[in-house]
Amino acid sequence: MKARVHIMLKTGVLDPQGEAVRHALGSLGFGGVEGVRQGKVIELDLTETDPKKAEAEVTAMCDALLANTVIERYEVELL
């Protein structure tokens, strides 16, 4: 089974890269962008077939390595 992890900076954490993207969009003439937040997506191929177990496993992976929960939040999506 496949899982997809979405990692974003927590609300309130300044995202300098997102800000730079917003400015670049502005300079291309896209004026209506009020904010840009940049995150990452990680796709995992798992041997686990039980969705509940898979979700628990991926959550543990997020806490141990994939996300830095000091500044980031994550969501696990099973595919």
Query: Which residues bind to other proteins, rule: CB under 8 A?
Result: 13-14, 16-17, 20, 64-66, 68, 70-71
Q: How far is the CB of 19 from other proteins (least distance, A)?
A: 9
Residues in the chain: 79
User: Whose Cβ is closer to other proteins: residue 49's or residue 65's?
Assistant: 65
Q: How far is the CB of 39 from other proteins (least distance, A)?
A: 12
Q: Tell me the HSE value of 19 on the side-chain side, using a 13 A CA sphere.
A: 4
Q: How far is the CB of 17 from other proteins (least distance, A)?
A: 6
Nearest of 3, 7, 27 to residue 74 by alpha carbon? 7
- Which helix (H) or strand (E) segment is 43 a member of? strand 40-45
User: Whose Cβ is closer to other proteins: residue 32's or residue 35's?
Assistant: 35
User: Whose Cβ is closer to other proteins: residue 33's or residue 51's?
Assistant: 33
Measured distance CA(9)–CA(54) in Å, rounded: 24
